[in-house]
Structure 1
Amino acid sequence: MSLARTLSDGNLTAEVDGDKLTLTTTDGDRVALTKEKAAPLAGTKWAITSPDTDGKAHLTFDEKTGLVNGSLGCNKVRAEATVRDGSITLGTASTTRMMCDTSLMNTEKTLLGLFDGTVKYRVDHRTLVLTSENGERVNASAAE
């Protein structure tokens, strides 16, 4: 049974067990919902949410090494990353040098603009927003 049908089926009983909510219809059909944990900045693969990258651009911050690694959509990237007080200071980006589709190169240019400076960051559950010093915003979501 679909969630929409279950929710519109009339009377439901609800049972809560820790972080799990189970909804049951009068016919006995059940839907179980669980709370998804918020993603931490460090150790999460953050997929850049830009239509031009087709899910290929991503960043992962490593707290132990003080580095960020990932892909700009076509080229790989690595740089120092110091996280403190809602901001990340990114060092000079070390990248591979492949030529790619123009749309990917435009996205890479935007992403490279985050490096060699400090960006503000905000994690909201499973979404990351990076804002550069000039106000450019990059959004990412926690990849599965």
Structure 2
Amino acid sequence: MDRHQQRKALVAAAVLVPLVAACGSEHAGQRPGSSTVSPEPQVTGTDWRIDSITTHAGTEHPAGTTHLRIDPATGKAGGRLGCNHFSATATVRDGHITLGSPTTTRMMCDASLMRTERTLLGVFNSALKYRIQHDTLTLTCANGTIIQAVPRK
């Protein structure tokens, strides 16, 4: 083999060896890359920050620390509706969350926070469809309101 052919063979080996090693490093029965992907958060046990609320009037991005958490051990939801804290029963079943009547604190806040709170209070005493995709929880209400939340950090 002449020097030119040796050099071509070395370059080809230098390129192919890492590729072959990478292909062989996957565990049997797993999809490629699955070991580096984080699992989706669960609807219960995750602190969800409300990112957007879409109604027939448009989409708003709540100010403040609007959030919720459903405790799987107690069957209770709790969090903050914009201004006030809340607590309610929560049942999660078959892609739906049913929230009972809320108990809330009774503070008055900025008008935008109170508007957010009124909208969110409208989802209690009803069944909400939920879906989690790409770390985003989407709640769809019977009245067409869509609430999107992300894990709170």
Distance in 2, matches of 1:52 and 1:138, equals: 10
Aligned to 1:140: 149
Q: Which amino acid aligns with 1:142?
A: P
Aligned to 1:3: none
1:53 to 58, 62, 79: 62
Aligned to 1:39: 41
Aligned to 1:109: 118
Q: Is the 8 A contact 2:63 2:113 kept in 1?
A: no
Partner of 2:139, secondary structure, is: strand
Distance in 1, matches of 2:99 and 2:78, equals: 11
* Cα RMSD (Å): 2.5
Distance in 2, matches of 1:52 and 1:86, equals: 24
Q: Is the 8 A contact 1:122 1:129 kept in 2?
A: yes
TM-score computed with the length of structure 1 as normaliser? 0.74
What do residues 10-35 of structure 1 show as CA deviations (whole Å, max 9, x unaligned)?
x9x7758679x7xxxxxxxxxxxx42
> Runs of 5+ in structure 1 lacking a partner?
1-10, 22-33
Measure how far apart 1:93 and its partner are. 0.7
Aligned to 2:89: 80
What do residues 64-93 of structure 1 show as CA deviations (whole Å, max 9, x unaligned)?
111101001210011000111111111001
Higher radius of gyration, 1 or 2: 2
Counting matched residue pairs gives 122
1:95 partnered with 2:97: no
Percent same amino acid at aligned positions? 47
Aligned to 2:136: 127
Higher strand proportion (structure 1 or 2): 1
Measure how far apart 1:37 and its partner are. 2.5
Give the ranges of 4+ consecutive aligned residues of structure 1 lying more than 6 Å apart after TM superposition.
16-19
Partner of 1:74, secondary structure, is: coil
Q: Which amino acid aligns with 1:97?
A: R
Q: Is the 8 A contact 1:37 1:125 kept in 2?
A: no
Distance in 1, matches of 2:78 and 2:128, equals: 16
